[in-house]
Amino acid sequence: MTVPMQLARIIISEISDNQVIYLKEVDGERQFPIVIGICEAKSIDRRVKDEARPPRPLTHDLVVSIAESLGAEIDSVIISDLRDQTYFAQLRLRKDGEVFDIDSRPSDAIAVAVTFQPFLPIYVSEEVLEQATPKDGAA
């Protein structure tokens, strides 16, 4: 089972290589952090703030363009696993009635999700959510 989540916070530190995004349950209180790189954090932040797009496509724009050129629709992001403190995700694509899950880092998948208006849905498996969140729901 997957749980709908939303991007709740982006924390960018110019003095650290590690940035943090928080995902929060859409219809609940559980939330958890994911540590990501500075480039992905800035890309996500830029899109969330709806800042001017760069004159040339960024990597996340390129992924969307490739999928669309191949006739596929990017449907959603699924954070599916947590192993050794590393999150695993998929970009879910649809083409001609078939569903394809493409392996991705969560940060890249979320950066792709926020290139769309409205943002693509983000889902987290219940197992990952149970591992990532304390029993009281606080993060």
Mean pLDDT of 23-42: 94
What is the model's pLDDT at position 31?
A: 96
Least reliable range by pLDDT among 10-19, 29-38, 53-62, 113-122 = 53-62
Poorest-pLDDT segment among 37-41, 53-57, 118-122: 53-57
Can you read off the two tokens belonging to residue 77? 């992001």
* 4 bridge partner residues: 123
Give the predicted TM-score (pTM) of the model. Answer: 0.90
Q: What's residue 137's pLDDT?
A: 45
Helix (H, G, I), strand (E, B) or coil at 15: coil
Residues 6+ apart with CB under 8 A from 58: 43
Q: In what order do the strands lie in the sheet with 122-125?
A: 31-37, 18-25, 2-11, 122-125, 73-83, 86-95, 98-104
- Cβ partners under 8 Å of residue 105, min gap 6: 36, 40, 87, 89
| Domains assigned to the chain | 2-132 (3.10.690.10)
CB atoms within 10 A of CB 21: 24
Over pLDDT 90: what percentage of the chain?
77
The answer on pLDDT for 52 being more than 80 is no
